[in-house]
Amino acid sequence: MRYGLVSDIHGCHENLEKALETFKEEKRKVEKILCAGDIFNLYLSHKENKKILDAIKNHEINCVLGNHDIEMIRKSSDQNEIIEYLKTLNEKKRIDDILLIHGHQEKINYELSVDQIFKKYNTKTKIIIKGHDHKNCPLIYDKRGLKIIKKNGHHKFKKPVIIHPGCLLSTEFNGQELFNPAYAILDTDKNKVEFFFL
């Protein structure tokens, strides 16, 4: 089966739309789309966040809560429709033979090691899709170790595997881009993932 993978959208509607267009291409057409959390941005207007919500509903994107989504539930008072949607999500979700998580810890906001993730979720699935890390992503973790993806292309993997599809948020600091927005398509029949950088 082919899955479109996104994470860490942080309200960046334009980049989400680019990913969705790729997922619709005939040669790449996906059957399901998964989002590994941090969907909305607390500091964007309701109108901007609503664009993301509409895209999620229109494309039936399977999502989990990220740490920023949890923060939005706690702090936002003027985005009721977004908050109500977020309250329907969990921090992890099993879709087919995939475990979808964000990858943050409840009280400590840092990356979990691969061993910690498998131990924490004690899953019989062989594929975990995660988000959260914005720096060195996208990533593939398998028994051969960590592989940081730097350019578009196909990558084979061995199960069990943890895949971070990249972050859709585009961030710059002092005019220098800190990371390139990215997303992926997972093919579970061929044990490969294709990454796309914007």
Whether residue 112 is predicted with pLDDT greater than 90 in this model: the reply is no
- Strand pairing of 153-156 and 161-164? unpaired
pLDDT at 198 over 70: yes
CA angle 177, 185, 43 (to 5 degrees): 45
Assign 91 to helix, strand or coil.
Answer: coil
Under CATH, what is the fold of the domain 2-197?
Purple Acid Phosphatase; chain A, domain 2 (3.60.21)
Domain locations along the chain: 2-197
d(CA 27, CA 187): 12
If we measure between CA atoms, which residue out of 47, 52, 63 comes closest to residue 15?
Answer: 52
Is pLDDT of 107 > 50? Answer: no
Name the pTM for this structure.
0.90
**pLDDT reported for residue 108:** 34
pLDDT tens per residue, range 144-188: 777 778 888 899 998 889 899 999 987 665 555 667 899 999 999
pLDDT of residue 79: 84
Write down the pLDDT at residue 192. Answer: 95
Question: What is the structure's pLDDT at 146?
Answer: 74
DSSP letter (8 states) at residue 28: G
Tokens 């509903």 sit at which residue?
57
pLDDT over 90 percentage in the chain: 61
37: pLDDT strictly greater than 80: yes
Tokens encoding 71: 């923060």
d(C-alpha 91, C-alpha 68), whole Å: 12
